[in-house]
Amino acid sequence: MPSSVRGVDAVNQPARRLFLRRFVEVHAELRRARWRVSGMTRWLATAFPVRTQIALEVVPAQMPSALSLKTHVAPEAGLFELGGDPPRWIWAFTCPTPGCDCRTAIVLTANGERDALVERGAPVRSAWLRGESYADAAARAVGTTAFAVDIDGGGIFPVVGDDPFAAFDFDACPDAREVVDRLDGDVLDAIGRLWYRGKGWPDPEEKSRGVAQIKIEDWRPGEVVSWGEALVGVRKDIYRFGERVFEANDLYCVARDCDCGEVVLDCAPLVPRGAPNPGAIRVARSGEPTFEPEHERHRERLERLWAAFGKRHPRYVERFGRRSAVMREIAPRIVGAPRAEIERRRARVGRNDPCPCGSGKKYKKCCGAT
């Protein structure tokens, strides 16, 4: 494993760096903006703003038909069994509109077995298929508890209400607390994949693993590669501590002759802008962490981030092991590309063409926004 670890800001493409810095602020605007279009209330925002502007756009013509949605997502999609005693089932619904970048899912839960949840949640699925407000349908569903979850950050909110920032009332819905405590990183990852399926887009991990060449700006052999950089579009791992927000990026050694098994967890600050990077955590194959703060005063913050990461990913050793195997598989196809080459490749893409990064958005709304 190389001894030096570059922060994620140094290795990511410019558009991704802009996205990371603005993600939480955009998500805040997303939850503030509630628009009713074609009978469906949804939150709208653009994930790649131009400079400091936040653009809200609705394209009703992009609303998929009920028939196309049925081909994208099977009836059992979104049903997840949570571990624990007793087992609990949830049913997650993500935004099906291709032109909407919201990263919120509506989650239903109910006492009893899977069949009981399917029966009580049927009106919500029907509303989702018809392009109606499935959030309103979830709020009205009898015998269920519904809440909204931030797919990347794990935050919990009410499904409806005048204040989109209102804290979820766990006292009024004690059943929800037990469910929320079981929403670990594996479940959030699964909901993140469902987000793509609901829009009729390919799974980002599968798509990236199938390309002939993975170009990473300014990457050089011997340097580590982050999971989200190699597999563009996978769910981000966001953590909030008061007014500070961080993204945990796991970086892997892709050297052909290295079998160290180490993973570096880089804790990149998103909010406030320009905040110092607290450092990284080097995780051995056994799972033992070694803290490497940028300054000693950041050690406590790094330890808090690691505790939060461990709570969300209690099986992080298995998680890193699976991802290490994937990175070894794609390592021969990872190549470095100078910025000039990346810019030339972008220049050949029309503003209304699909973005070459694979996000599924138009180029002008994605990497072209910078």
Task: Walk along the chain (370 residues) and give the pLDDT tens digit of each residue.
Answer: 443 333 333 334 444 444 444 444 444 444 443 333 333 333 333 333 332 222 223 333 333 333 333 334 555 789 999 888 888 899 999 988 877 888 899 999 988 788 999 999 999 999 998 888 999 999 999 999 999 999 999 999 999 876 666 788 888 888 888 889 999 999 999 999 999 988 888 999 999 888 899 988 888 888 999 999 999 899 999 999 988 999 999 999 998 888 888 999 999 999 998 899 999 999 999 999 999 999 999 999 999 999 999 999 999 999 999 999 999 999 999 998 776 554 444 445 566 666 655 455 665 566 555 3
Which spans in 274-314 are helix H? Answer: 299-312
* Mean of the per-residue pLDDT values of the chain: 77
Structure tokens at 279: 């450092």
Distances (CA, A) of 12 to 34, 207, 232: 32, 19, 10
Residues recorded for the chain: 370
Structure tokens at 186: 């594996």
| Distance of alpha carbon 118 from alpha carbon 89, whole angstroms | 10
Do residues 82 and 187 touch, judged by C-beta distance below 8 A?
A: yes
Spatial CB neighbours of 302, under 8 Å, sequence gap ≥ 6: 267, 278, 279, 281, 291, 293
Query: Are the C-beta atoms of 215 and 337 separated by less than 8 Å?
Result: yes
- Pairing assessment for the beta strands 238-241 and 244-252 based on DSSP bridges: antiparallel
> What was the pLDDT predicted at 277?
93
Counting Cα atoms < 13 Å in the Cβ hemisphere of 60 gives 8
- As a whole number of angstroms, the distance between CA 173 and CA 207 comes to 39
Tell me how crowded residue 253 is: count the other CB atoms within 10 A of its CB. 21
Q: How far apart are CA 252 and CA 255, in angstroms?
A: 9
The DSSP code sequence of 253-284 is: ---TT-----EEEEEEEEESTTPPP-EEEEE-
Contact between 158 and 147 under an 8 Å Cβ cutoff? The reply is yes
pLDDT digits (tens, 9 = 90+) for 207-236: 988 889 998 888 888 899 999 999 989 999
Q: Please, what sign has the CA dihedral across residues 169, 120, 134, 196?
A: positive
pLDDT in tens, 298-350: 999 999 999 999 999 999 999 999 999 999 999 999 998 776 554 444 445 56
